[in-house]
Amino acid sequence: MTKHTYFIPLEKIQGFKTSQSYFMMRQKAQHVTIVVRDSDSAQYLTLRYLKQSEGHRIESCLTRVK
């Protein structure tokens, strides 16, 4: 498996959503979905099974800038 790293300018990030199922609460994990817009199209990036603390850290970075 190959690992890719992408850098996205903050002005292209349209929004985000965090979600957590009942079964993920015990492991303190959550999914973060980020919406990236470019002209008329949108891409959805999903970070799955992140630690809840990391999800909150990403959320605070995005809400502080926006």
Q: Is residue 34 part of a domain?
A: yes
* CA angle centred on 52, ends 51 and 58, rounded to 5°: 95
Domains contained in the chain, number: 1
**How many other C-beta atoms are found inside a 10 Å radius of the C-beta of residue 38?**
10
Q: Is residue 28 part of a domain?
A: yes
High-pLDDT (> 90) share of the chain, %: 41
* CA angle centred on 16, ends 14 and 21, rounded to 5°: 160
Q: Is residue 4 part of a domain?
A: no
Give the predicted TM-score (pTM) of the model.
Answer: 0.78
Q: Is residue 3 part of a domain?
A: no
Q: Is residue 5 part of a domain?
A: no
pLDDT bin (cut points 50, 70, 90) of residue 1 is: low
Q: Is residue 26 part of a domain?
A: yes
* Separation in Å, CA 52 to CA 7, 23, 36, 55, 57: 22, 13, 22, 5, 9
Question: Region 13-36: what's the mean pLDDT?
Answer: 92
Please, what is the end-to-end C-alpha distance for the chain in angstroms? 34
What domain range includes position 35? Answer: 10-65
